[in-house]
Structure 1
Amino acid sequence: MDLTQTLFPLGWQHYLLGGLFIGTGVALLYLLTGLVGGMSTVFSSTWSFVSNRPFFQQERFKGSRAWRLVYAAGLILGALAWWWIVAEGTPQSTEVPAWMLLVGGLFVGYGARLGNGCTSGHGICGLGSLQWPSLLAVLTFMATAFITAHLVAWRLG
């Protein structure tokens, strides 16, 4: 098996197509509306519906939550379309234990709050607009992801 098949067992074309769609969508969102489409703000603005904590009740969250919900719905529908079209409805699974996924999710959430944004905000929007703090954030995200992936592979292997 060659390296391409090892890294991309389902093929690489749909990853390229997905990246083009994401990049185009985020660019159009910014060019047409001036809005930045990072997902950690979608998460925080959604919490503004159910939490009265002052952090979630900031105007930047309350004032943008309607379009951000539509944005999140589009991402969910896009994932469902991929699952239906590319994966042909085949259930996807992982060998990573549920507790590791939960702990990883908590670390990602904490990191997104600490880094004032997530990988989509910094990696797609921030780098696309040439913001140097986003470059530092992305380098930190990627280094952490490489280390974590190797630790998990070592743990499971």
Structure 2
Amino acid sequence: MIETAFTPFQSLGGGALIGLASVLLMATIGRVMGATGILAGLMQPANFSDWAWRAAVLAGMISGPIAVLLITGKLPAVQVPISTTMLVIGGFIVGIGVTFGSGCTSGHGVCGMARLSPRSIAATITFMLTTGITVFVVRHILGA
């Protein structure tokens, strides 16, 4: 069975930083911090100023593990207890969900919920229910 470590302080700190980053992005340039929208806009930039802030956000996401490496001398441990095939299939399914859901958990769950957007509230409830069902199936029915 897959066990998940209980890390309340790291989770709280990470959540606070994500919230702060979202608020700062909205306050400074009026944009929602949805990771898939940021990445999609980076791939097809409308203009350079739009590309620049998206690249800066992406660089910030990448720099976190690098900062941990510089401070501790090792990268954060990442364990993926499934096969590469299942990882690819899961990524494909998430991509479909992001497309049909018009955004991801960071855009809907963090920013949309904070703005009390009915569409984001519905999307976040759907994300969480689907996640709970998936974890149950993987851990208890498939026996992973």
Aligned to 2:55: 69
Which residues of structure 1 form unaligned runs of 5+?
1-5, 49-60
Give the Cα–Cα distance (whole angstroms) in 2 for the partners of residues 14 and 87 of structure 1.
19
Which of the residues 18, 30, 34 maps onto 1:38? 34
Closer/same/farther in 2, CA of residues 124 and 86 from structure 1, 3 Å limit: farther
TM-score (norm 2): 0.84
**Which stretches in structure 2 are left out of the alignment for 5+ residues?**
none
State the partner residue of 1:8. Answer: 5
Give the superposed CA RMSD: 2.2
1:51 paired residue number: none
Q: Distance in 1 between matches of 2:40 and 2:74?
A: 33
Instruction: Judge conservation of contact 2:65–2:75 (CA < 8 Å) in 1.
Output: no
Q: Which has the higher contact order (CA 8 A, sep 6+)?
A: 2
**Percent of aligned pairs with the same amino acid:** 33
User: 1:7 Cα deviation (Å)?
Assistant: 4.8
**What amino acid is the match of 1:118?**
C
| Alignment TM-score, normalising by the size of structure 1 | 0.78
**Which whole-Å deviations, capped at 9, do the CAs of 1:76-98 have from their partners, x for residues lacking one?**
11243346657953542222111
Count of residues paired in the alignment? 139
* Equivalent residue letter for 1:106: F
